[in-house]
Amino acid sequence: MDQITLDGLRNSPVQAFQHLIEGRHVHASDGGQMNIISPIDGTVLTTTAKGTVADMEAAIRSSRAAFEDRRWSGQPPAARKKVMMKWAELIEANALELAVLGVRDNGTEIGMAIKAEPGSAAATIRYYAEALDKIYGEIAPTSSDVLGLIHREPIGVVGAIIPWNFPMMIGAWKLAPALAMGNCVVLKPSETASLSLMRMCELALEAGLPPGVLNAVTGEGAVVGAALGQSMDVDVLVFTGSGATGRRLMEYAARSNMKRVYLELGGKSPNIIFADAPNLTEAAKVTAAGIFRNSGQVCVAGSRLLVEASIHDDFVAEVVKATQAMRVGDPLRLDTDIGAVNSQAQLDQNLSFVETAQSEGGQIVTGGTRILEETGGYYMDPTIVTDVKKAATLSQQEVFGPVLAVTPFTTDDEAVDLANSTVYGLAGAVWTSNLSRAHNMVRRVRTGVMHVNTYGGADGTVPLGGVRQSGNGSDKSLHALEKYIDLKTAWIKL
């Protein structure tokens, strides 16, 4: 990556963003705007439209009309594929600009953002573009006087509500399969990280996506997000974010048109280290990265470290060493390992979790405080808390920040019991050289994803989804397409 270009983009003025409705930039109906604060230094970066209920309704009307006149689903698959491939190409061509814009908006360190945001978004869009002309209907094995056909049809209007930690990556996980299957989408990005995703939507139009097929409305979740959730004209809601909002979306669906709701929620993912792990030094480094990259604002972050008691002290010392070697600071520096916390509110919440952990008997072995306050930005020293009990707040509640809870165990059964002792079930890991133990732990720990002798890094070929209160349905892989397809039977008497 070219450092000069990066530095050039660092201070470049950022346009004011409006909604994208029917292929046009549209101001909020009442002219409202929101200031977008950069977590790098706490200054105002730009503004976005502060959407109203009327704005959201206009976007939904536009997507509905686009779906009904089949301007997208009616095109030959090869034509839709061409548009989506072009979209991926444009994202790659603008990768640095998109990544820097996103980092200035949400604080993720650039080294991670460049791969995880434009890189991953382009790969996801290409994956579903390539898949879209390989999805066939079926012929049922009926008796010979009947023809039973199973059609796969787009569902209609998809509402997609996206969080702030990886807006482009998570945005693409929803938009790409939904559009690939011929649906139309209304997108609601997060109020604290919408810029790169809005820019990505502009590129979709440039690639040839017909106006109205993808509309995007910025604004507050409680206003425009709620209007999307409560709409009688949205068929599916796909969401990544907090459990509290997920609960509301289910309520909105029940109170309106019983739209389908697919939720990707938080986690409290266990990272389980056995004394027979193949390489404890490597495990310690990956453990630190697995919780602290992007300031812990990763849904699958390994936020609970469960360590076999016989190696507890030595292993914790290794993780502390690896953590203290990570550089926290300006996310636009290429040598930064941990960038900024997304907002003042998130930083305050992280610090209050640390206070509670101490009051419940946890011992802070490194970190625990805000740092670099003189920059005006929101930075937190990565924090490790030991002696965290099974029932402690830090074991049970998601921080979504750079805070690692450490708990020892002595037997495999105890490790499983601790791992399964929260309401969540998103991700986890087991580190061991024992093949049977590895497979048994994968089976017994109730999560959507289990890593063995690593943490994180799964690519687009495998599903990501939570079980229990971490959500339902999956993003990524061909399985994600199921959320965006209706099966229709044609029963034909011959």
Residue 167 is a binding residue for ligand NAD (CB under 6 A): no
Helix (H, G, I), strand (E, B) or coil at 211: coil
Residue 264 designated active-site: yes
Counts of helices then strands in the chain (DSSP H, E): 16, 21
- C-alpha closest to that of 48 among 62, 34, 61: 34
CB 395 within 8 Å of CB 238: no
Reading phi first (left if > 0) and then psi (alpha if -120 to 50, else beta), residue 340 is in beta
Cβ–Cβ < 8 Å for 95, 119: yes
Decide: is 398 part of the binding site for ligand NAD (CB under 6 A).
yes
The one catalytic residue in 109, 264, 318, 398 is 264
Q: CB nearer to ligand NAD: give 63 or 94.
A: 63
- Rounded to the nearest 10°, the torsion over CA 164, 166, 171, 173 is -140
We find the least distance from the C-beta atom of residue 188 to ligand NAD, in angstroms, to be 6
Residues within window 299-358 making contact with ligand NAD, judged by CB under 6 A:
299
Question: Candidates 42-50, 132-140, 223-231, 330-338 — which segment interacts with ligand NAD by CB under 6 A?
Answer: 223-231
Contacts of residue 384, defined as CB under 8 A and 6 or more positions apart, other chains included, come to: 316, 319, 320, 323, 364, 365, 366, 367, 404, 406
Burial class (CB in 10 A: 0-12, 13-18, 19+), 491: exposed
Query: One of 299, 308, 318, 398 is an active-site residue; which one?
Result: 299
Q: H or E element: which one contains 428?
A: strand 427-431
Q: How many beta carbons lie within 10 A of that of residue 366, not counting itself?
A: 16
Q: Which of 265, 288, 328, 429 binds ligand NAD (CB under 6 A)?
A: 265
Taking alpha carbons only, the member of 164, 189, 182 closest to residue 20 is 189
Residue 349 vs 434, nearer CB to ligand NAD: 349
CB of 240 to ligand NAD, least distance (A): 4
Residue from the set 18, 165, 269, 295 that interacts with ligand NAD by CB under 6 A: 165
Nearer to ligand NAD, 432 or 469 (CB): 469
Q: For the window 465-484, what string marks contact with ligand NAD as x by the rule CB under 6 A?
A: -x----x-------------
Contacting ligand NAD within 54-113 (CB under 6 A): none
Residue 206 appears among annotated catalytic residues: no
Residue 225, interface with ligand NAD (CB under 6 A)?
yes
CB of 427 to ligand NAD, least distance (A): 9
- Looking at the Cβ atoms of 265 and 380, the one nearer to ligand NAD is 265
Q: How far is the CB of 267 from ligand NAD (least distance, A)?
A: 6
Q: Cα torsion for 123, 234, 26, 16, to the nearest 10°? A: -50
Residues that bind ligand NAD (CB under 6 A): 161-165, 170, 188, 190-191, 221-222, 225-226, 229, 240-242, 245, 248, 264-267, 299, 398, 400, 426, 466, 471
- Could you list the active site residues? 264, 299
